[in-house]
């Protein structure tokens, strides 16, 4: 039987949602490591939730004492996974809500892909953004298209080869992590998953999103009504998240193992996020200021946590 270790990264988690996640994953994985970025010497609420729902054998809390970023937190969990002899890690945000059979179906999808002779770095579930009640497709390179497009899994094609997967819900074999390497901690939060996926693909691995496994996830901090050749719903991001998105986009543009066509296409998307927040967001002036600062810090290679 596969030994699956889940790594949940927390930062001021909301008790009800986190407890739902905890209960769901405890039924699906061998062990859970919660790496807490919440500042302070203690987090009594989080410790209490773990004690009420798990045991020291299947549920472990690691407190970092300050916000060291999602990349650092994942790497701390990965070190534990290496030492424990896990076969797979499952990465999760604190507010994700996987379906009851998500992990089982991720393993089934991985096994089928592996049996087909494919070198698989990660498999991710199809997920629905709860803020917009929208099920998102995966980034794919469509035949005959210059830039990437999007495709959702179907009954005929349940596993879609993706250019990238979001962190939460990703099932990754330990062997792939050892080969590709850990997360880049200088990115701190945004595009941590993006960079790792491109690095894996550059080493000959492939990534897949599957329709067999499903998860609910909150992208951003709410929904935002935006005019872009018609009204549409986009995600809300704080000015600080805008800073990290633009800074880390510039950082990714310097990587020679990322296709320049992808850089151009994601640049248009990133510009769209910036446009949405500075014209329709609730903190327009600050979002504009932080976005420009992020671009500048990306250019001068000022990485890590924003001070």
pLDDT in the model for residue 186: 98
Nearest to 169 by CA among 2, 4, 1: 4
pLDDT in the model for residue 16: 95
pLDDT in the model for residue 120: 98
pLDDT in the model for residue 229: 80
> All domains of the chain, ordered by start, with CATH?
4-217 (3.90.550.10), 223-299 (no CATH)
pLDDT in the model for residue 56: 87
Walk along the chain (307 residues) and give the pLDDT tens digit of each residue: 789 999 999 999 999 999 999 999 999 999 999 999 999 988 999 999 999 998 989 999 999 999 999 999 999 999 999 999 999 999 999 999 999 999 999 999 999 999 999 999 999 999 998 888 889 999 999 888 999 999 999 999 999 999 999 999 999 999 999 999 999 999 999 999 999 999 999 999 999 999 999 999 888 888 889 988 889 888 899 999 999 999 999 999 999 999 999 999 999 999 999 999 999 998 999 999 999 999 999 999 999 999 8
pLDDT in the model for residue 243: 98
pLDDT in the model for residue 233: 85
pLDDT in the model for residue 237: 94
């Amino acid at each position: 039987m596969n030994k699956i270790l889940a790594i949940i990264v927390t930062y001021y988690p909301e008790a009800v949602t986190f407890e739902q996640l905890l209960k769901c994953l405890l039924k699906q994985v061998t062990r859970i490591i919660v790496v807490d970025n919440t500042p302070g010497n203690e987090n009594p609420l989080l410790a209490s939730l773990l004690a009420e729902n798990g045991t020291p054998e299947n549920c472990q809390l690691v407190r970092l004492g300050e916000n060291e970023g999602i990349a650092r937190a994942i790497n701390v969990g990965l070190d534990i996974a290496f030492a424990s002899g896990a076969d797979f890690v499952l990465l999760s945000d604190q507010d994700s809500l996987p379906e009851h059979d998500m992990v089982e179906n991720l393993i089934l999808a991985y096994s089928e892909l592996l049996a087909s002779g494919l070198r698989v770095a990660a498999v991710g579930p199809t997920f629905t953004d709860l803020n917009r009640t929208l099920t998102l497709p995966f980034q794919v390179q469509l035949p005959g298209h210059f830039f990437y497009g999007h495709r959702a899994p179907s009954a005929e094609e349940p596993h879609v080869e993706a250019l990238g997967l979001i962190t939460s819900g990703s099932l990754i074999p330990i062997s792939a992590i050892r080969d590709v390497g850990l997360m880049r901690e200088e990115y701190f939060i945004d595009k941590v998953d993006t960079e790792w996926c491109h690095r894996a693909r550059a080493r000959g691995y492939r990534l897949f999103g599957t329709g067999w496994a499903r998860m609910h996830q909150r992208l951003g901090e709410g929904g935002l009504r935006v005019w872009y050749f018609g009204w549409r719903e986009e995600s809300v991001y704080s000015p600080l998240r805008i800073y990290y998105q633009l800074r880390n986009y510039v950082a990714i543009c310097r990587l020679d193992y990322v296709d320049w066509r992808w850089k151009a296409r994601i640049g248009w998307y990133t510009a769209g996020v910036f446009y949405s927040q500075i014209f329709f967001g609730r903190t327009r002036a600050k979002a504009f200021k932080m976005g420009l600062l992020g671009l500048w810090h990306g250019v001068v290679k000022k990485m890590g946590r924003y001070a």
